[in-house]
Structure 1
């Protein structure tokens, strides 16, 4: 439970950091606004023509009598929009990070410089096009995993009682984990840490990750809120990344000292 509070604390610290650095916050809003316009247009189109799409996909129901045809196709239209909304929540961060890679890279570096002792920040050393390629490739791989979870949870949502109580909560935790992975990838990729190692690192501290990502996933259900929280979320994810790596380094040092002590004892 303590880790849940610590994770949420990093989210709050990130929002406070951007509140003190107005210029960085302003630049960080631009990618989210662009993504919001694209998603609103896509979801708006689905609202307008979703019924026609469902009718086209279910020609076998053309001869059904009223009201069964309307109930069936209306239900499928609602399900289609709900699935699209879930995918929008899951992909919003990835798309925004891809569009805003230069913006968030600069923001994350500024956070690192601000809190580091020597005022420096790790750099990937890669050209911009290479950073964009790595980010896009990893985002597709993460979204594939998130998509499989979405389909599983979507199917379980039809289970009576459990589907209306447990599954939505579980969905928030799953979404929170993948949101955190996408947000921490800005700082971790800059440190040359590959996707598999990033996932392993986050899985070792799931409670901390959930404390950070689950409240964010809940807030991101409202796209407008997501836009304004995104810069602070990147800043908070950078702070959490530093915390996780420092803990990992301390653990490695402790294991090395223990191994050295055992070696000396065996030698004696």
Structure 2
């Protein structure tokens, strides 16, 4: 079966072929604007956030400051990563939904079950993004709270990393599934039933998003890679393959 890295590399090559590359320029431009704005904001405020967080460390843990400081930096970086990802995905979702549709037609020779134009794709994609936000944000809030609890917050970076990979999988693998009329709850069941491919794919996409500037050009490949993963790992699964996870 196709592994996550192969899907991403093939998908990236695919979206820059003559028939598909015209669908990637608008999301790249939109993400570039958001990237510049958020980077400027983070560089301005990051030091203050870190100082405030370190001030909450109890005195009896001062001897662990050499470990706590980098863990806090990692946690803050992951929070910024989540915020950037959510904003850019909300903006780029209509374009990515259309790109996933075109990639599926190119790869399989057939259109997805829900073959839509740009206007309907944009409206439906925004609605689906709101559903994703309703799923992701409460879990982000819980992890954020954990990050402020002394001692327990030492495991927060690990939890953020795992959830980051899962969130990336949910975000990108949902594009081909939405185009094929897979309900959101069913999509989550399918991802859980193929947990290893799901987490490895999400992990690779997460690494891509951390590559400054280059990520703007690689993320459309993640959309195409999601289509390849859908065809190879998830399409054949039945809706009752696993219980829904809340």
> Does the pair score TM above 0.5?
yes
The corresponding residue for 2:188 is 199
Relative to its length, the structure with more helix (as a share) is 1
Which residue matches 1:30? 26
| TM score, norm. by length of structure 2 | 0.72
Gap runs ≥5 in structure 2: 57-68, 242-246
Q: Is the 8 A contact 1:12 1:236 kept in 2?
A: yes
Say if 1:126 and 1:103 are closer, same or farther in 2 by CA, change over 3 A.
closer
How many residue pairs get matched?
227
RMSD: 3.7
Instruction: Give unmatched runs, 5+ long, in structure 1.
Output: 55-69, 253-268
Check conservation: 1:219, 1:226, Cα contact below 8 A.
yes
Q: Is the 8 A contact 2:98 2:121 kept in 1?
A: no
- In structure 2, the partner of 1:227 is 216
Match in the other structure for 1:186: 175
In structure 2, how many angstroms separate the alpha carbons of the residues matched to 1:83 and 1:227?
23
User: Does 1:133 find its partner at 2:133?
Assistant: no
User: Which of 97, 113, 118 pairs up with 2:105?
Assistant: 113
Indicate how the Cα distance of structure 1 residues 209 and 51 shifts in structure 2: closer, same or farther if over 3 A, else same: closer
Which structure has the bigger radius of gyration? 1
Partner residue of 1:156? 146
Q: Which of 37, 40, 47 is the aligned partner of 1:41?
A: 37
Q: Contact 2:101 / 2:112 at 8 angstroms: preserved in 1?
A: yes
Answer whether contact 2:20 2:103 (CA < 8 A) is retained: no
In 1, the alpha carbon distance for the partners of 2:31 and 2:55 equals 28
Distance 1:15 1:126, change over 3 A: closer
- Tell me if 1:7 matches 2:15: no
Deviation string 1:204-246 (CA, Å, 9 cap, x unpaired) is 1121111101122123124423212111100000111112344
